[in-house]
A = this chain, B = another copy of it.
Amino acid sequence: MFSQQVYISRRTELKKNLKKGTVLLPGNGESGMNFKDNWYPFRQDSTLLYYTGINIPDVYFVLDIENDQEILFGNDPTPEEIVWIGPTTPLREFAEASGIKNIKPLSELADYFAKGAPTNKIHYLPPYRSETSVKLHKLLGMPIAEVNSKCSVSLIKAVVKQREVKQLEEVEQLRNAVNITAQMHTYAIQNGRAGKTEKQIAGDLQAIAIGGGGNISFPIILTANGQYLHNHASEKKLIDGELVLCDCGAETAMGYAGDMTRTFPVSERFTELQKQVYNIVLDAHNTAIEALKPGIKFLDVHLLASSRLVEGLKGLGLIKGDTQEAVSKGAHTLFFQCGLGHMMGLDVHDMENLGEPYVGYTDTLKKSDVFGLRSLRLGKELQEGFVITVEPGLYFNPYLIDAWKAEQKLSEFINYSEVEKFKNFGGVRIEEDFLITSTASKLLGDPLAKTVSDVEELINTSK
């Protein structure tokens, strides 16, 4: 946990922003896999973590703003339970470390709400686990189908306003997460050789994340089929000549995430063509990084990177015509179907559960619904203290190529006969994490091999 003062001042700020009502933050419980007590690794709710730092299952935090009262609801293990689990930190110590004065047992929670103790508005965030929906349904006595729609937009906005600007302590945690993440990538680049299955390497990467004290921050993507964006690791064996796209991250024991991508050859060297495509992505990546600064819309950085991709694709003979026009018509989205990046923090897609309209956009800048831009999670102006990913890519997706070609979509910009030759190429992505500073940006974590020659050298130092 951070110091008590960190949590107290976060809650003070929340009260100041929200002004009235009672905030109810239900913590996560254990989550059963194939029976109730066979648990997935416990993951606390990130907003509860942010305001209290308490990283144990089955607690609820209640903040009654008008009456300036804070209560932590939870149970200590019984003496019999301690026989089975051994010594644990008592709730009282967690509450103290977090600066919360009142602790009540879970048995009093229902009464607290049933008896109308909070006569003011009850603010809660939209639940993302059914278990939490059921908890809120029981506690607040509303039909389960209404739980989601009755969440508090003012609480969402207040939470986003705080969590989007990272504090120094948080940046330090994020840097740790990114450094463990870089270790995972170093291992993948050095060990992703022919004959191993994707899952074997992914398992080893997860071991590095767990050994770092936390776990993976999202399911590992490690695939020779990087053209499919949501592909994970399979039983497929790697083959010489393939490109491996590895997108993975660790989260620290406190829950802060890292998220990086490298693309590397199974053979010791990139082919000439792989090198050309890789360098187009790298150019877009570097161009985007140079543009990062407070006040710039991330949407504009996305479009800038897209224009660099188009320039590169023109060099390869896949795109023709005016670059800006090609970008504005979306010609690049045949190869770059997604967004340039997203917020990162206590969640790898930070605050995704609170909703993109609040996290990535504003009341005046709404997300576009056209193909490509509708997958851009972050569009709004950057601020000092934001932590974001920058992850351009080129994905030669045969399904999409066939579909566009069939209707000759944007054929004024796209050389389909040339594109056809890339249907087995795969995908390339390069991703790093950045802190927005007062004037520009700063790479989080120690640098990791990124150029063609550095990646090849890393492969060869492993021999």
Residues of A within 8 A of B (CB): 31-41, 43-46, 79, 82-86, 128-131, 133-134, 137, 144, 197, 199-200, 202-204, 206-211, 213, 218-219, 225, 227-231, 235, 253, 255, 337, 346-349, 352-353, 397, 399-400, 403
- A227 closest partner in B (C-beta): B86
Quick check: B128 and A32 within 8 Å, CB to CB?
A: yes
Give the complex CA separation of A253 and B203 in angstroms. 14
Quick check: A349 and B144 within 8 Å, CB to CB?
A: no
**Which residue from B34, B137, B211, B229 sits with its C-beta under 8 Å from A347?**
B34
Quick check: A128 and B36 within 8 Å, CB to CB?
A: yes
| Number of identical monomers bound together in the oligomeric complex | 2
- Find chain B residues with CB under 8 A from A218 CB: 38
Quick check: B85 and A349 within 8 Å, CB to CB?
A: no
Give the complex CA separation of A40 and B137 in angstroms. 24
Quick check: A203 and B199 within 8 Å, CB to CB?
A: no
Quick check: A35 and B128 within 8 Å, CB to CB?
A: yes
Quick check: B197 and A203 within 8 Å, CB to CB?
A: no
**Which residue from B45, B130, B202, B337 sits with its C-beta under 8 Å from A210?**
B202
Give the complex CA separation of A21 and B107 in angstroms. 39
**Closest 5 CB pairs between A and B?**
A203-B210, A86-B228, A203-B207, A130-B131, A207-B207
Quick check: A199 and B213 within 8 Å, CB to CB?
A: yes
Q: Most chain-B Cβ atoms within 10 A of its Cβ — which of A31, A33, A211?
A: A33
- Find chain B residues with CB under 8 A from A229 CB: 84
Quick check: A397 and B83 within 8 Å, CB to CB?
A: yes
